[in-house]
Amino acid sequence: MNTATETKSLNIAILYCKNCISGDKSIHLSTDENGDFTVKPVMLPCSSNIQAYQLLRILDKEADGIELVACPGTSCEFMVGSCRAGKRVSYVRELLEKINVNPGRIGVSYTSNASVDDLLEIAANRAKAVNTLNQ
C-alpha cells in the first residue's frame, strides 16, 4: 500500500457488476486527468461474485482502495447479489478496523446505467477517501 507521502499514485480497483453499466461492458480506465490515481476496472457477472478473502487479497497486494459497484438492491438480476456484496464489504471493513487498517480503503456504491465517467467519479471519491484517511 502507498504511504501518506505517496498519495499521488494511488491504485484504485473498481470491481463492477456488468449489469450496472450502460453501453460497452468492458471498460478501460487508466488515470484521472490530474494523474492522482490509477484505476483498475474489473468486470464481475454479479457484485456478489467477489468474496471477502479476494477483497482482502487485493487490498494487501494490489490496490490502495477498492470500490465495489453494485446494482441498486431492487434491481439485482440475482435478487440478493447486491445485498450480499454490501454485507461482504461491511465484513471486510470490520476486519480492517480490528487490525488498525483504515476501513475507508474499501466501499460499495449502488448505481445503474453507469457510464465510464460515473465510474471514474466513483474511483475519484474512493481515492479521496483513501487519501484523506492516509493523512
Partner 1 sequence: MIFAEWKPVEELVEKLKGRKKILVAGCATCVAECAAGGEKEVDTMAPLISMGLKEKGIDAEITTVMVEKQCEYEFLDDIDAKVKDVDAVLSLACGIGVQAFAEQFPDTPIYPGVNTSGLTVREETGVWASRCAACGDCVLDETFGLCPVARCAKSLMNGPCGGTRKNGKCELNEETDCIWNKIVDRAEARGELETLATVRKTKNWSHARHGGPKKIVREDLKQ
**Is the CB of 108 or the CB of 120 nearer to partner 1?**
108
By CB under 8 A, name the binding residues for partner 1. 1, 51-54, 56-57, 59-61, 95-96, 98-101
Q: How far is the CB of 66 from partner 1 (least distance, A)?
A: 12
Q: How far is the CB of 54 from partner 1 (least distance, A)?
A: 8
The whole-angstrom separation of Cα 111 and Cα 99 is 30
Handedness of CA 58, 60, 65, 69 (dihedral sign): positive
**Is the CB of 35 or the CB of 53 nearer to partner 1?**
53
Residue 85 grid coordinates? 456484496
Handedness of CA 135, 68, 70, 125 (dihedral sign): positive
Q: How far is the CB of 55 from partner 1 (least distance, A)?
A: 9
Q: How far is the CB of 27 from partner 1 (least distance, A)?
A: 26
**Is the CB of 20 or the CB of 107 nearer to partner 1?**
107
Give the number of other CB atoms < 10 A from CB of residue 71.
25
The whole-angstrom separation of Cα 49 and Cα 45 is 7
**Is the CB of 43 or the CB of 95 nearer to partner 1?**
95
